[in-house]
Amino acid sequence: MVERISVTILTKNSERYLARCLDTLAEFDEVLIVDNGSDDATLEIAARYPNVRVVEHEFTGFGPLKNFAVKEAKNDWIFSVDSDEVATPKLIDSIKELSFEDRENIYTIERLNHYRQKPVKCCGWYPDEVMRLFNRRFTSFSDAMVHESLIAPDGAKKIKLKGELLHYPFDSVESLIAKMQSYSTLYAEGSGKPSSPAKAFFRAAFAFFRNYILQRGFLCGYEGLLISVSNANGVFYKYMKLYERRREKK
């Protein structure tokens, strides 16, 4: 039933994994890419695929931009994919078997996250079940600037699909730091919550303890330590940035 599904993808300088991502989506009737200012080969790669349509739009936050992509798609059933995710053949086969009789169903997918091509099953990175296939007449994404999620209304039935999304978010320490910097800034800009240096410190300390001890980052070698420290830094800086912004407004 892939002809009834529109795939939506957000891109910005996504050349590294985009071809692998799009190769797995060749059977879908429409793949809608919303690009926000790529200056690498992203658009050239997208142009190679006959089922891909590109719309350019400024960045308005991950939640609002994903909702824009959903509204621009031609089908009501939406498969939301990140540009650094690769669907396994088993996942595509399980989607092709769906009947879509109930639009209130939301389909979830197991995501296997990688660091430098290596699967990571600690630090809260696994298991990572995400809601990605849904009917836009029944639900939508939250309007969060970052860490947006699909809203599951009352009555929604979550059904887990077979297969996985292989996720390749980080290829180096530099990419970890860059995303931490970007996401912490977006959080501070979009949050109205109170903050303080003490809150930043204790939230960051707990984040490290949770990732490295409770979620067994210590069993994953240097990657576990790196991810745990990076996550803790991200928590610390997002609350400190929020604290500074609230002080400036006063």
Q: Are residues 132 and 235 in the same domain?
A: no
Q: Are residues 38 and 49 in the same domain?
A: yes
d(CA 12, CA 84): 11
Q: Are residues 113 and 232 in the same domain?
A: no
pTM (2 d.p.): 0.94
pLDDT in tens, 156-182: 999 999 999 999 999 999 999 999 999
Q: Do the Cβ atoms of 139 and 150 come closer than 8 Å?
A: yes
Query: Which domain, by its residues, includes 178?
Result: 173-249
Q: Are residues 56 and 129 in the same domain?
A: yes
Q: Are residues 63 and 15 in the same domain?
A: yes
Q: Are residues 165 and 177 in the same domain?
A: no
Instruction: Determine what percent of the chain is predicted with pLDDT higher than 90.
Output: 92
Q: Are residues 165 and 179 in the same domain?
A: no
As beta bridge partners, residue 84 has none
Q: Are residues 84 and 116 in the same domain?
A: yes
pLDDT in tens, 8-65: 999 999 999 999 999 999 999 999 999 999 999 999 999 999 999 999 999 999 999 9
Q: Do the Cβ atoms of 38 and 13 come closer than 8 Å?
A: yes
Start-to-end C-alpha separation, the chain: 54
Q: Which of 148, 171, 167 is nearest to 21 (CA)?
A: 167
Total domains in the chain come to: 2
Q: Are residues 131 and 221 in the same domain?
A: no
